[in-house]
Structure 1
Amino acid sequence: MRFLGRGELPREVGVLAVIAFVVALGFGVVAPAIPLFARDFGVGTTAVGLAVSAFAFFRFVSAFSGGTLVERFGERLVLTAGLLIVALTTGAAGLAGNFPLFLALRAAGGVGSAMFTVSALSLLLRVAPPSHRGRAAATWQGGFILGGIAGPAAGGLLAELSPRLPFFLYAGFLVVAGAVAVAMLRTAPTAVDPGGSPVQTGPDLDAGPVALRTALRSRVYIAALVANLGVGWVLFGVRNSLVPLYVTEELGRTVAWAGAGLLVGSLAQAVGLLRSGRLVDTWGRRPSLILGSSIATGSLALLVLPPAIGAFLVSMALFGLAASLLGSAPAALVGDISPARGGRVVAVFQMAADLGAVAGPLIAGWLTDVASYQVAFAATAAVLGVGLLTALALPPEKRSASRPTQSS
């Protein structure tokens, strides 16, 4: 691998971003078809919800095992295997003749998804030099965001033709992504700084992974976990489950307005990613995390105010900007803690977001039923506020020639 020029990233980061785009594009294509396909089996609404949540639940419970596989077999093998598992189970799900089989295949797909996500993030943080980890994380997240924006529109149209068709298309996308991984992620690079010399940070890059119990004693790692929990709670949970209902029932608007709000948030996040990674690398992890957590908390606090469509759109845009920082700073912190093969340290970090995605909709939905939307949003803002407090509790960063560093 050639040395980095100023402002450049390792080739592997670009490859992982392309794979992320293809995966997110395919997932966006299949997402609208899942409830429609499940309905074709004659099941009720609860079973439809189970078909959606089974993937996320098994992704969560298998992530730690995925981290163990990364430590034992390496990122590239686990990444490729994970993509192929999701491809096979998705394609087979499109051929399923009964609901139990469809549900089992969706659950197995969650296992493959966990393998892919943990191994990809572990590889990303290992190959990126410390001075560019924020930009590497932002580039990777950008692939997911762009794919996530483009996929659902095409998926809705394809599902109208046949609810099985998106499953086959998604499986094809995943095979392409797996082929890209095999062809372009061959060597085990060493992170280098922009000046061309190898970077040494903490543990030796060729040493074994950092023990999870060691990472859990670090305030830096705890702050990253809490921040990622908040991101999963809102970005992958409450925003997708509660926001559409809030718009139609509380604001009295059509579902199109809910879609507009989600689109505004995604576009703001995509724009923010253009600068957030550089801020994390140059301004520092701690101030970037504090800024992102502050904006995120304030954005949800807006929804505690009396319902107004303008406040809703502003809230979605602000959270999108915050998510661009919260998608870069916590990941960079994890890379600083475990610059060697991440494995279980990265897996638990990913599990924090998945836990938020599972718990957020359940808790916020229950609070809405027993109290109000405003109480649910206040609780969500409180979760993000805890992330802000853990960020404020981090020690000041010690600037070095290559990167900001923090003690535990």
Structure 2
Amino acid sequence: MNRQREPMARSVIVLAAIALFVGLGFGVVVPVLPLFAESFQANDLMVGVVVSAFAAVRLSTSPFSNGVMERIGARSTLGLGLLLVAVSSALMGVARSYWWLLGWRAVGGIGSALFTVAAMTVLLAVAPEHMRGRATGLYQSGFLIGSMAGPAVGGLLARISLQAPFGFYALTLLVAGVLGLSLLPRAVTRPVGAGRRGGVPMRRVLRDRRYQAALVANFAQGWNSTGVRSSMIPLVITAGLGLSTTWTGTVFAVAAVIQTIAIVPVGRFVDTVGRRPAMLAGALIMAVSLMSVPLSGSIGPVIAALCVYAVGAAAMSTAPAASVGDATGGIRGGTAVAVFSMCNDTGAIVGPLVAGAVSDAFGRAPAFAAGVVILLVSALVSARMPSAAAPGRARAGNL
């Protein structure tokens, strides 16, 4: 069979559908959450704590996710994680004080850690090596599409009440959980977390240059795409160019569309040309385009730069995950996936803090430059990866 026409595994399609519902609910809640926190007379710092608590708790609890999978299997762990986020979201909507809102937001972070690690572990297990890039791209596109549609739905629900989006988020998560528990086969997912044979020991995975490059790339992705892009680019558009916040939403929406369009073809590139070229190109494209943003004098170049950035980000969100699957052999990868996920969360938390401090002290261009340095380091580490052109032609002897 022509591998380019080989059908995608049903479990990958199910995971993409789950990601679509999760992304939709997440996109509904994120714009409303700060406003809901302010309704409890929270100051800006308290609002920031509510927003960041989710990622901070997810980061701190990710190391325990593999232990849960060892006990109950990856499918059940995925369902449990989605159920925790669903229940916490519903309870956030009926919270009567800031502290209850914060507490349930933190509980959601625990569920997100379980779901994130379990879903990626299952994805890398069920996707064959020569299709991991495309599988990761399909999974990521589900979340991106949901995230793009979410804010529009959230705006409509917010007209009903600020609590309505939280109930909607809980509903989408319950649907995602039912899909996972009913359509993901137990026979595939149980060995992912609990398998004792055929897996690569974690100490060997840590020595694998493919895995090392994936960790650095995911840290750089979290620092820049989740952190610096969200915290610094709105300031460039509003304070630097003197434009309204509407332009910020427009720019981000256009970039999200470009990334969604690019991610599946980029996944094919990852599978046919190789992980290393994709990670090198992705890091360099992101670095050049990101650095051009604070140097732009009008909105047109900013939009162009972020559209180019989106293509690089598509490569940096697919190739590293595929490399993790290669390094672990696709099975017994729960711990490796948890560490991989933690790198992204760490970058997302540290990146905005460093960028903000550098911007206050030296200006916005140096703040962007700090993120560019991280991307260049990622490119250097990726250059040390094995030089096999394509996963289908190079097997696991590349340690």
Tell whether the structures are fold-level matches, with TM greater than 0.5. yes
Map of 1:289 onto structure 2: 279
- Aligned Cα root-mean-square deviation (Å): 1.9
Q: Aligned pair in 2 of structure 1 residues 15, 399: CA closer, same or farther (>3 Å)?
A: closer
Normalising by structure 2, what TM-score? 0.94
Check the 8 A contact 1:209/1:343 in 2, yes or no.
Answer: no
Distance 1:75 1:253, change over 3 A: same
Separation in structure 1 between the aligned mates of residue 264 and residue 296 of structure 2, nearest angstrom: 33
Amino acid at match of 1:62: T
Confirm or deny: 8 A CA contact 2:129 2:391 kept in the other structure.
no
Aligned residues: 392
2-structure distance, mates of 1:244, 1:380: 16
* 1:87 and 1:175 in contact (8 A); partners too: yes
Match of 1:280 among 259, 270, 292: 270
Aligned mates of 2:216, 2:223 — CA distance in 1: 10
* TM-aligned CA deviation for residue 405 of structure 1: 5.0
Q: For residue 245 of structure 1, what is the aligned residue in structure 2?
A: 235
1:50 corresponds to which residue? 49
Contact 1:281–1:404, Cα closer than 8 Å, also in 2: no
Q: 1:324 to 1:398 in 2, by over 3 A?
A: closer
Structure 2: distance between partners of 1:185 and 1:5: 24
User: Residues 9-29 of structure 1: CA distance to partner in whole angstroms, max 9, x if unpaired?
Assistant: 110000000000000100100
Deviation, 1:213, is 2.7
SS, match of residue 328 in structure 1 = helix
2: CA distance, partners of 1:30 / 1:50: 16
TM-score (norm 1): 0.92
> What is the SS of the residue equivalent to 2:186?
coil
Tell me what 1:360 maps to.
Answer: 351
Give CA deviations for 1:319-365 in whole Å, capped at 9, x if unaligned.
Answer: 11011111111011000111212111000001111111111111111
Structure 2 residue aligned with 1:196: none
1:170-212 Cα shifts (integer Å, max 9, x gaps) = 001111111111110123239xxxxxxxxxxxxxx86264333
Asked if structure 2 preserves the Cα contact closer than 8 Å seen for 1:87 and 1:171, the reply is: yes
Identity, % of aligned pairs? 42
Counterpart of 2:187 in structure 1 is: 188
CA distance 1:268–1:399, change in 2 (3 Å): closer
Using a 3 Å threshold, how does the CA distance of structure 1 residues 139 and 403 change in structure 2: closer, same or farther? farther
Tell me the CA shift for residue 241 of structure 1: 1.7
Q: Secondary structure at the match of 2:187?
A: coil
Of 266, 271, 276, the residue aligned with 2:256 is 266
Partner of 1:188: helix, strand, or coil? helix
Is there any run of 5+ residues in structure 1 with no aligned partner, and where?
A: 191-204
**Which has a greater percent of helix?**
2
Counterpart residue type for residue 168 of structure 1: G
1:344 is aligned to 335
C-alpha contact 1:130 1:402 (8 A) present in aligned 2: no
Q: Please, which of 363, 383, 404 is the counterpart of residue 374 of structure 2?
A: 383
Structure 1: which amino acid aligns with 2:216? V
User: Where do residues 227-238 of structure 1 align in structure 2 (5 Å cutoff)?
Assistant: 227-238=217-228
Per the TM alignment, residue 391 of structure 1 is displaced from its structure 2 partner at its CA by: 1.1
Partner of residue 222, structure 1: 212
User: In 1, Cα distance between the equivalents of 2:237 and 2:14?
Assistant: 38
* Deviation at residue 101 of structure 1 after TM alignment: 1.1
Aligned partner letter, 1:259: G
Which position in structure 2 is the counterpart of 1:394? Answer: 385
Opposite residue 225 of structure 2, the aligned amino acid is L
CA distance in 2, matches of 1:215, 1:180: 31
Provide the C-alpha distance between the structure 2 equivalents of 1:400 and 1:28, rounded to a whole number of angstroms: 34
**8 Å contact kept, 1:399–1:405:** no
- Tell me if the contact between 1:284 and 1:404 (Cα under 8 Å) persists in the aligned partners: no
Please tell me whether the aligned partners of residues 78 and 115 of structure 2 are also in contact (alpha carbons under 8 angstroms). yes
291-300 or 141-150: which moved more? 291-300
Q: List gaps (5 residues or longer) in structure 2.
A: 190-194
1:111 positional shift: 0.5
